[in-house]
Amino acid sequence: MNTRSQTKLQRELLEPKIDFYEASQEWRANKISRKNGCFIYSCCFTLENGDFCSRIPKNKSCYCSVHLKNAKNNL
């Protein structure tokens, strides 16, 4: 049986601490903002600075037309 202080400590340890601003930034990292709050995925290619390419991918592909050639050459 837990004492009151043990129960309080357990609650504090199990309580999730979510940074919604950071979560939103990470979710938006590989997306392009469109009209009316809609988003589409951007090219999956990671640039030298760590960001994703900002071009729109080709149909049924993860890469834009520029990086699709590079991805095929690396296979």
pLDDT in tens, 37-72: 899 888 888 888 988 888 888 888 888 888 887 766
pLDDT at 38: 92
Mean of all residue pLDDT scores within the chain? 81
User: Which H or E run contains 67?
Assistant: helix 65-74
Q: How far apart are CA 41 and CA 54, in angstroms?
A: 9
pLDDT band of residue 20 (cuts 50, 70, 90) is very high
Q: How far apart are CA 53 and CA 75, in angstroms?
A: 20
Q: Where are the domains of the chain?
A: 4-74
Q: Are 10 and 4 in contact (CB under 8 A)?
A: no
Q: How far apart are CA 25 and CA 52, in angstroms?
A: 13
